Amino acid sequence: MKLGAIAHSRAGDKGTILNLSLIPYKESDFKFLKEHITEQKLKNFFKERIKGTVTRYELPQLAAFNFVLDDALYGGVTRSLALDPHGKALSSYFLLMEIDKEAYFNYRKSID
């Protein structure tokens, strides 16, 4: 199951730093995402794209997350020859991450 089935994302950038938001469609899915979308999982998903650290900030009042990916934009917007130097497409790519369908449905059963 793709992450995009239960959440949406936006991207922003500053220098070589990329910000990715993660916002569940259902506020009640915040807890599931908190347990399953970790900093390490995100770093593994983007593999060699992220040269630095990944930091997750939780925004429980908004039922959202902000991930800060250091050294993820190949030198920054003005220095990169990348096709998408701003990293805007990475929010769409992020939503292609696979999540455990069975774990999600078990989670939904437990809270409904």
- Of residues 6 and 90, the one with the higher pLDDT is 6
Buried/exposed code over 28-60 (b: 16+ C-beta within 10 A; e: otherwise)? ebbebbeebbeeeebbebbeebbeeebebeeee
Mean pLDDT over 52-73 rounds to 93
Which ranges constitute the DSSP H helices of the chain?
30-36, 39-46, 89-94, 101-111
Mean pLDDT over 57-66 rounds to 97
Q: What are phi and psi of 24, to 5 degrees?
A: -70, 150
- For tokens 């994302």, what's the residue? 9
Mean pLDDT over 56-62 rounds to 97
Residue-level pLDDT at 65? 98
Q: What are phi and psi of 49, to 5 degrees?
A: -65, -35
Q: What are phi and psi of 68, to 5 degrees?
A: -110, 120
CATH of 3-75+89-111, one of 3.30.530, 3.40.50, 1.10.287, 3.30.70: 3.30.70
Mean pLDDT over 25-53 rounds to 93
d(CA 43, CA 45): 5
pLDDT in tens, 63-103: 999 999 988 775 555 444 444 445 567 888 899 999 999 99
Whether the pLDDT of residue 12 is over 90: the answer is no
Residue-level pLDDT at 76? 53
Residue-level pLDDT at 34? 97
